[in-house]
């Protein structure tokens, strides 16, 4: 299984990196919308929305919201990201509230009552703000980085994603080698405190390393390290929340589209939480 995961990652990673670095923001957002909506389709399945027509209607409604936000953000002087920034803040607030849900892991586990409403709302609050944060980050700085032809904003988005991937990979290997204390055995029995700490350390190192590609100076590195740590912590919350949904649904993976990785949502869970956190931290800390 590890070999299959590695081969799939070797195919997906270069494609994702090339898209982030080379595509203009509007095309990047369009591509991201497709991927995020694929993950949302799997989220509907975890929320026990079995009717295909109902899921299609819900998906179109989310797409319409995305299109409406883009249309409403047009201005005579160009495109404004105010709505996207507002949604990013809403996303950060949602993931902080999600911590309370994780602490009461049986809440909304009964799909015969109100659970679907809560989980559908959670899906919207996870996917839409993450997509908005992605667009905001990608367009955040049009000045040249140390990589010729690549704007700094593109590299900031890549940095945010690398933080998530590093946190996940670091937690996996450190947890396997040194993991003793369970992090949340009732939600995700394989996650350990040692894995969490190792993943966060690797995430901070990845954030600092990729931030240097943007031309970040030494004075900015403490703020970048803090943002990477915050994003790494939020990615764990996103990962745990998807694990909670899967536990409620009684499934191991959100889907089977990606060999060795499960579904699209299995690759996006940490990203959905970390993107708004990193984008807001970047804006607040001023780097």
- Which pLDDT does position 1 carry in this prediction? 47
**Whether the model pTM is above 0.75:** yes
What average pLDDT does range 21-50 have in this prediction?
Answer: 95
* Total domains, the chain: 1
Q: Which of 45, 68, 79 is nearest to 128 (CA)?
A: 68
State the residue range of the domain holding 22.
2-285
Cross-strand pairs, 182: 192
pLDDT tens per residue, range 242-283: 999 999 988 888 877 776 567 999 999 999 999 999 999 999
pLDDT tens per residue, range 205-243: 999 999 999 999 999 999 999 999 999 999 999 999 999
Token pair recorded at residue 131: 């997509």
pLDDT tens per residue, range 141-172: 999 889 988 999 999 999 999 999 999 999 99
For helices 152-178 and 2-22, angle between their N-to-C axes, nearest 10 degrees: 160
Q: What is the C-alpha separation between 235 and 213, in angstroms, rounded?
A: 23
Which has the higher per-residue pLDDT, 157 or 10?
157
pLDDT tens per residue, range 67-121: 999 999 998 888 999 999 999 999 999 999 999 999 998 888 876 668 889 999 9
Q: Outline where 2-150 has alpha helix (H).
A: 2-22, 25-46, 52-72, 82-103, 115-138
């Amino acid at each position: 299984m590890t070999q299959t995961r590695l081969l799939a990652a070797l195919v997906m990673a270069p494609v994702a990196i090339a898209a982030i670095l080379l595509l203009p923001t509007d095309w990047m957002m369009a591509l991201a919308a497709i991927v995020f909506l694929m993950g949302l389709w799997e989220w509907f399945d975890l929320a026990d929305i079995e009717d295909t027509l109902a899921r299609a209607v819900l998906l179109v409604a989310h797409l319409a919201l995305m299109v409406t936000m883009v249309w409403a953000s047009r201005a005579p002087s160009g495109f404004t990201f105010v709505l996207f920034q507002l949604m990013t803040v809403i996303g950060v607030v949602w993931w902080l509230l999600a911590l309370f849900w994780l602490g009461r892991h049986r809440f909304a586990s009964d799909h015969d009552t109100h659970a679907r409403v809560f989980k559908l709302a959670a899906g919207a609050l996870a996917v839409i703000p993450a997509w908005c944060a992605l667009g905001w980050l990608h367009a955040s700085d049009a000045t040249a980085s140390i990589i010729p032809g690549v704007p700094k904003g593109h590299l900031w988005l890549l940095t945010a994603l690398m933080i998530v991937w590093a946190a996940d990979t670091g937690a996996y290997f450190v947890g396997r080698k040194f993991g003793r204390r369970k992090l949340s055995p009732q939600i995700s029995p394989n996650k350990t405190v040692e894995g969490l700490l190792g993943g966060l350390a690797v995430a901070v190192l990845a954030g600092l390393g990729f931030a240097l590609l943007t031309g970040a100076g030494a004075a900015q590195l403490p703020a970048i390290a803090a943002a990477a740590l915050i994003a790494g912590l939020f990615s764990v919350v996103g990962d745990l929340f998807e694990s909670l949904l899967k536990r409620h649904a009684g499934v191991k993976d959100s889907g089977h589209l990606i060999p060795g990785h499960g579904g699209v949502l299995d690759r996006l869970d940490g990203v959905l939480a970390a993107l708004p956190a990193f984008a807001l931290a970047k804006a607040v800390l001023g780097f």
